Amino acid sequence: HLAVIRLLDHAQSLDILDEVSDEGDYWDKRDFPALAGEVGEWNEMIAAFAGEMKDWLGDDVKSAITDFPDFEHLEAKGRAVE
């Protein structure tokens, strides 16, 4: 996310950027703690979904998030808000 923002900053400095749509609002606010919190919530949601898929389809289900060392913790937090 931060690398993309740097790229967009450069594009803006060249006056070739029309608009930016950023669900995390980092583009406008530049609030790193808020961005980290938003990404954490997304990770929890994705982990909960991946866990559901593993429950339904078995351990052959692969997702990058299942390789996170804290996957089960993220999954539990994501399922708690369902």
The whole-model pTM stands at 0.77
Q: Compute the C-alpha angle 79/52/57, nearest 5°.
A: 170
What is the 3-state secondary structure of 10-48?
HHHHCCCCCCCCCCCCHHHHCCHHHHHHHHHHHHHHHHH
What phi and psi values does residue 71 have, to the nearest 5 degrees? -55, -50
Tally of residues, the chain: 82
Q: 31 by DSSP, 3-state: which?
A: coil
- Listed by start position, the domains of the chain span 1-30, 31-82
Lowest mean pLDDT among 46-50, 59-63, 70-74: 59-63
**Model pLDDT for residues 5-49, shown as the tens digit of each residue:** 999 999 999 999 999 999 888 999 999 999 999 999 999 999 999
Using the Cα atoms of residue 19, residue 37, residue 2 and residue 50 in order, give the sign of their dihedral. negative
Q: Is the pLDDT of residue 82 over 80?
A: no
57: confidence class by pLDDT, cuts 50, 70, 90: very high
Q: What pLDDT, on a 0 to 100 scale, did the predictor assign at position 61?
A: 86
